[in-house]
């Protein structure tokens, strides 16, 4: 056998670092390794394999801190190892790793009594992404009040403005991360939450909305005009009242999530 090219060596090394426990490292790669001190070639490769697992586990743990808190150390490390072996990293940026972790939890269902875990993971991934988004300059309260008198207007929201809905109380669970699990009462997971997330003053804020407020804001975020959004929400919530609409406008003004307003064309 000839000498390995750089491309062949990189491919073999990458496969060896990502291999599962029952798989042996490639013979050609083992023969090409010159171990240091008392290590064998196999031991030297194991150092890199374990380091690969540790670094990606740390990346998952930083993003999915609440999932880790719920699962506990032993189970989270087991899940992380299985996920890493099924989904090797495809990027040099570790903060981008783990995008499909929620889908993995959905498929694996590691804890039958904790059906909220996939949604909790989705919330954490969204939160991480919002952290890296830019802020915007909000429209003034005076402009909003003046424009809303003109009729069929459209709102443009800042890039960090997102909605999240779940049949589970994922936000309440997320807020418990970092606390001592033994000191916390058993939370009630089965409470639906409708959330507005946005970035302001270099911080991420989360506000819980009523279902009617969430529906109307969701329609506005899709680009519907105010009249279209109201009609759409009324078809789902015919009991929607004027005070509820006014309350949502107060939320939009207070949070500063509106970036621009387009008047009637």
| Whether pLDDT at 9 is above 50 | no
Whether the per-residue pLDDT at 43 is higher than 80: the answer is no
DSSP classification of residue 139: P
For residue 152, what pLDDT is reported?
81
Task: Give the residue carrying structure tokens 């409470």.
Answer: 191
Band of pLDDT at residue 88, cut at 50, 70 and 90? confident
Contact 229, 192 (CB under 8 A): no
Task: Provide the pLDDT for residue 51.
Answer: 67
Cβ-contact 215, 237 below 8 angstroms? yes
Confidence band (pLDDT; 50, 70, 90) for 95?
Answer: confident
Per-residue confidence band for 240, with pLDDT thresholds at 50, 70 and 90? very high
Which among 259, 169, 157, 260 is positioned nearest to 208, based on CA atoms? 169
Residues ≥6 apart with Cβ < 8 Å to 179: 69
Q: What is the rounded average pLDDT of the residues 112-123? A: 95
According to DSSP, residue 182 is labeled G
Question: Out of 32-46, 50-64, 218-232, which region has the weakest mean confidence (pLDDT)?
Answer: 32-46
Domain ranges of the chain: 1-132, 134-265
Of 84, 51, 261, whose CA–CA distance to 156 is shortest?
261
Distances (CA, A) of 75 to 58, 68, 182: 14, 8, 16
DSSP E strands in the chain: the ranges are: 154-157, 162-166, 193-200, 203-208, 258-262
What confidence category does residue 37 fall into, taking pLDDT thresholds of 50, 70 and 90?
Answer: low
pTM: 0.83
Task: Count other Cβ atoms within 10 Å, centred on residue 127.
Answer: 19
Per the CB < 8 A criterion, the answer to whether 123 and 169 are in contact is no
**Angle, nearest 10°, between helix axes 242-255 and 211-221?**
60
pLDDT in tens, 140-167: 888 888 887 766 899 999 999 999 999 9
Structure-model confidence comparison of residues 225 and 181, the more confident one: 225
CA dist 90 → 4, 93, 139, 250 (Å): 23, 9, 40, 44
The CATH architecture to which 134-265 belongs is Alpha-Beta Complex (3.90)
| Alpha-carbon gap, residue 104 to 48, rounded angstroms | 25
Are the beta carbons of 259 and 134 closer than 8 angstroms? no
Report the pLDDT value the prediction gives residue 62, as an integer from 0 to 100.
95
Average pLDDT over residues 202-214: 96
Owner of token pair 């919330």: 123
């Amino acid at each position: 056998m000839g000498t390995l090219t750089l491309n062949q060596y990189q491919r073999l090394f990458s496969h060896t670092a990502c291999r599962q426990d029952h798989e042996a490292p490639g013979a050609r790669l083992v023969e090409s390794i010159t171990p240091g001190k008392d290590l064998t070639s196999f031991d030297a490769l194991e150092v890199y394999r374990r380091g690969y697992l540790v670094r990606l586990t740390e990346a998952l743990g930083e993003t999915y801190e609440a999932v880790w808190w719920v699962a506990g150390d032993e189970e989270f490390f087991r899940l992380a190892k299985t996920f890493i072996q099924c989904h090797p990293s495809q990027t040099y940026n570790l903060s981008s790793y783990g995008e499909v972790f929620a889908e993995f939890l959905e498929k694996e269902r590691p804890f039958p009594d904790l059906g909220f875990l996939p949604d909790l993971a989705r919330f954490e991934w969204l939160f991480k992404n919002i952290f890296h988004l830019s802020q915007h300059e909000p429209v003034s309260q005076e402009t909003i009040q003046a424009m809303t008198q003109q009729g069929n207007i459209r709102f443009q929201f800042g890039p960090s403005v997102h909605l999240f809905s779940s049949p589970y109380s994922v936000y309440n669970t997320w807020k418990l991360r970092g606390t001592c699990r033994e000191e916390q009462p058993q939370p009630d997971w089965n409470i639906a939450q409708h959330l507005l997330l946005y970035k302001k003053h270099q911080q991420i804020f989360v506000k819980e909305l009523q279902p009617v407020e969430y529906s109307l804001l969701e329609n506005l975020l899709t680009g519907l005009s105010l009249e279209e959004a109201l009609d759409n929400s009324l078809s789902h919530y015919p009991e929607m009242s004027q005070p509820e609409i006014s309350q949502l406008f107060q939320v939009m003004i207070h949070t500063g999530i509106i970036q621009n307003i387009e008047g009637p064309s």
